[in-house]
């Protein structure tokens, strides 16, 4: 098993973050596998703030990773 999006529990001085709700997409034309996640920083869904400023640690974001070897890495 390979971890592709690990979280970090952190504390008030280091911050924390996590990844949840993964969705996987396979592009058969390119052979790429994409994994999309909710990226939360210092808040969970219930405590988050509306916005689109990724530097605001109270706003939830999206993260994507890409594999070009059929998901091996």
Mean pLDDT for 13-41 is: 90
Task: Tell me the per-residue pLDDT of 30-54, one tens digit each, with 9 for 90 and over.
Answer: 999 999 999 999 888 888 888 888 8
Assess if residue 43 is contained within a domain. yes
Query: What strands lie across the sheet with 18-27, from one edge to the other?
Result: 18-27, 32-40, 61-67
Report the distance separating Cα 54 and Cα 62, nearest Å: 9
> Hey, how many other C-beta atoms are within 10 angstroms of the C-beta on 9?
8
Report the distance separating Cα 52 and Cα 70, nearest Å: 32
Assess if residue 50 is contained within a domain. yes
Assess if residue 61 is contained within a domain. yes
The whole domain housing 62 covers: 18-67
Assess if residue 49 is contained within a domain. yes
CB 57 within 8 Å of CB 15: yes
Query: Tell me, what's the pLDDT at 1?
Result: 64
Count of the separate structural domains present in the chain:
1
Assess if residue 3 is contained within a domain. no
């Amino acid at each position: 098993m390979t971890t592709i999006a690990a979280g970090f529990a952190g504390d008030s001085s280091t911050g924390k973050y996590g990844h949840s709700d993964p969705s996987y997409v396979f592009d058969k034309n390119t052979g790429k596998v994409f994994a999309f996640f909710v990226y939360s920083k210092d808040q969970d869904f219930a405590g988050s703030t509306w916005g689109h400023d990724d530097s605001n640690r109270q706003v939830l974001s999206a993260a994507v990773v890409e594999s070009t070897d059929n998901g091996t890495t």
